[in-house]
């Protein structure tokens, strides 16, 4: 756990009645949040470069958003089980219209991202089992290291990791390909990379048409904001078309304008069969969704796929208000436009500290800085130091728990605040570099950089 210099240690008392795993990576609590700013329990003001983990694309406590949900809250209905309600009808129509894709004409609303992935696995398998090619068309291919959530199916999609070891068995119908990291493939050879990883994964030959029903990919790999080379996506498309395999894209982080597109599949020129979304969809209220075509969505029988809290009036109003703000403030366009400035500033940082930074990735208003493992200090420790120092100097970044930090401000951020934020990152990395040059030995001995800095 990262403990910023100010003494926040007493905050640990707040975890007394909670599961340990809910403790934050940075020991702090939020008192209030407005637009692009957060105030912590000590009234320390921070620029939010996390968008509350890519939820607050429209900014915190947006007044139009609040007005809309307060209106619903004050109306004489707070839940309608699976019976229709007006906000739900209005929202589903608006959501489908927002996607503006003839094929994606139906949605299934849920509460969390991980549920959307579970539902996707179910839909793909239900679809595959009706295939004319074989009743065993059950297999799902996904990509190692991608992140899809914490429930069993969703966690299985990320491949065998320490985090998924609790599952205790391997579903023989789930297959994992390697992620095309930039150091393993260039865009020119990414088709070959795809073919090789297929060969590696399927050592025993498999009739894909008869056995594989779906391919699920995270729109970009989260911890490093790694995007796929377009050729790699082309290879997936060709493979899936040839073998009658459905493609699902997990747009949990990338959706609703984050990358300068409504959804990242537009950039990839991918025509997905299923889109999974959540996070920014409700700007803080728990709503997620699976969006697909009638041919898939009409398969489950009434009652086979529903959930107590899905599509309740309040979350649907939140979804509706979110779409309205995105449209009114042209946030998709804004995110695309600000990318130039954001990328330029991050490149400046990268070129200024080539000994510390391995690479930066950026699209729209999502970026990652990936740190190098040095002889005496790991990239993860550098990332922790940058997180801490940024926090102390008024900027909250996403600490990925790995050798990277992730940056994703609300899409309403001004150019001025964006510049101020990247300057904080620059200044703190500069200080850390200086410190490391002078004190590497001390750091190695005491392992307590936070009090020393």
Ligand X SMILES: Cc1ncc(COP(=O)(O)O)c(C=O)c1O
Positions in the binding site for ligand X (CB under 6 A): 112-114, 117, 147-149, 218, 222, 250, 252-253, 278
| Residue number, nearest CB to ligand X | 113
Are 291 and 274 within 8 A, CB to CB?
A: yes
Minimum CB–partner distance for residue 97 and ligand X (Å): 24
Rounded to whole angstroms, the Cα distance separating 235 from 199 reads: 14
What is the distance between the alpha carbons of residues 95 and 92, in angstroms, rounded to a whole number? 5
> Which tokens belong to 333?
């366009």
3-state secondary structure of 360: strand
Determine the straight-line distance between the first and last CA of the chain, rounded to whole angstroms.
Answer: 17
- How far apart are CB 112 and ligand X at their closest, in Å? 4
Give 118 or 381: the residue with its C-beta nearer to ligand X. Answer: 118
384: exposed, middle or buried (Cβ count in 10 Å: 0-12, 13-18, 19+): buried
Residue with tokens 């209220």, as numbered in its chain: 285
Cβ proximity to ligand X: between 113 and 379 the closer is 113
**Residue of 301, 443, 310, 279 whose CA lies nearest to 374:** 443
Calpha distance 165→160 (Å, rounded): 7
User: Are the CB atoms for 290 and 275 separated by under 8 Å?
Assistant: yes
CB of 278 to ligand X, least distance (A): 5
Q: How far is the CB of 287 from ligand X (least distance, A)?
A: 10
Output the smallest distance, CB 151 to ligand X, in A. 8
Report the residue number, 397 or 436, with the smaller CB distance to ligand X.
397
N residues, the chain: 453
Closer residue to ligand X in complex, CB, 250/403: 250
Nearest approach in angstroms of CB 426 to ligand X is 27
Smaller CB distance to ligand X: residue 243 or 259?
Answer: 259
Listed in sequence order, the residues at least 6 apart from 171 whose beta carbon sits closer than 8 Å to its beta carbon are 156
Q: How far is the CB of 381 from ligand X (least distance, A)?
A: 23
Is 151 in a helix, a strand, or coil? Answer: coil
Least distance to ligand X, CB of residue 150, Å: 6
The span from the CA of 404 to the CA of 113, in Å, is 23
Of the pair 222, 257, the CB lying nearest ligand X is at 222
Of 35 and 218, CB closest to ligand X = 218
State the greatest distance between any 2 C-alpha atoms of the chain, in Å, as a whole number. Answer: 68
Of 248 and 418, which has the nearer Cβ to ligand X? 248
Q: How far is the CB of 157 from ligand X (least distance, A)?
A: 9
DSSP 113-131: HHHHHHHHHHHHHHHHHT-
Name the residue with tokens 């949990």: 252
Which residue number, 282 or 410, has a Cβ lying nearer to ligand X?
282
């Amino acid at each position: 756990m990262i403990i910023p210099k100010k003494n926040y240690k007493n905050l640990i008392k707040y975890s007394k009645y909670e599961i340990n795993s809910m403790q934050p990576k940075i020991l702090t609590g939020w008192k209030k949040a407005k637009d692009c700013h957060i105030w912590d329990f000590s009234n320390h003001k921070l620029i939010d470069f996390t968008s509350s983990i890519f939820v607050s694309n429209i900014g915190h406590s947006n007044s139009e958003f609040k007005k809309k949900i307060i209106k619903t809250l004050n109306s004489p209905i707070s839940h309608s089980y699976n019976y229709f309600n007006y906000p739900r009808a209005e929202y589903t129509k608006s959501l489908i219209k927002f996607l503006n894709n003839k094929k994606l004409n139906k949605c299934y609303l849920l509460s969390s991202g991980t549920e959307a992935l579970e539902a996707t696995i179910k839909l793909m398998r239900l679809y595959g089992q009706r295939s004319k090619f074989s009743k065993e068309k059950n297999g799902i291919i996904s990509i190692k290291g991608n992140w899809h959530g914490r429930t069993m199916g969703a966690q299985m999609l990320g491949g065998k990791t320490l985090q998924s070891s609790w599952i205790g068995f391997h579903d023989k119908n789930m297959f994992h390909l390697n992620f095309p990291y930039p150091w393993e493939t260039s865009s020119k050879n990414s088709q070959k990379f795809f073919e090789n990883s297929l060969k590696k994964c399927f050592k025993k030959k498999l009739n894909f048409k008869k056995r594989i029903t779906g391919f699920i990919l995270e729109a970009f790999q989260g911890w490093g904001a790694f995007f796929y080379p377009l050729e790699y996506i082309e290879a997936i498309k060709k493979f899936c078309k040839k073998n009658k395999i459905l493609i699902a894209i997990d747009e949990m982080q990338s959706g609703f304008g984050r990358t300068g597109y409504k959804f990242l599949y537009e950039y990839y020129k991918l025509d997905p069969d299923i889109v999974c979304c959540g996070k920014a969809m409700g700007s803080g209220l728990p709503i997620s969704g699976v969006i697909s075509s009638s041919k898939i969505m009409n398969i489950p029988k009434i009652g086979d796929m529903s959930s107590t809290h899905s599509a309740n009036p309040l979350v649907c109003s939140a979804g509706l208000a979110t779409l309205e703000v995105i449209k009114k403030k042209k946030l998709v366009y804004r995110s695309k436009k600000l990318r130039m400035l954001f990328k330029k500033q991050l490149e400046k940082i990268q070129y200024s500290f080539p000994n510390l930074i391995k690479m930066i990735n950026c699209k729209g208003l999502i970026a990652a800085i990936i740190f190098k493992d040095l002889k005496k200090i790991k990239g993860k420790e550098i990332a922790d130091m940058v997180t801490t120092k940024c926090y102390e100097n008024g900027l909250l970044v996403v600490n990925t728990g790995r050798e990277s930090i992730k940056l994703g401000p609300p899409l309403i951020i001004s150019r001025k605040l964006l510049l101020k934020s990247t300057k904080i990152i620059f200044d703190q990395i500069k200080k850390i570099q200086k410190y490391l040059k002078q004190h590497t030995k001390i750091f190695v001995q005491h392992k307590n950089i936070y009090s020393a800095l």
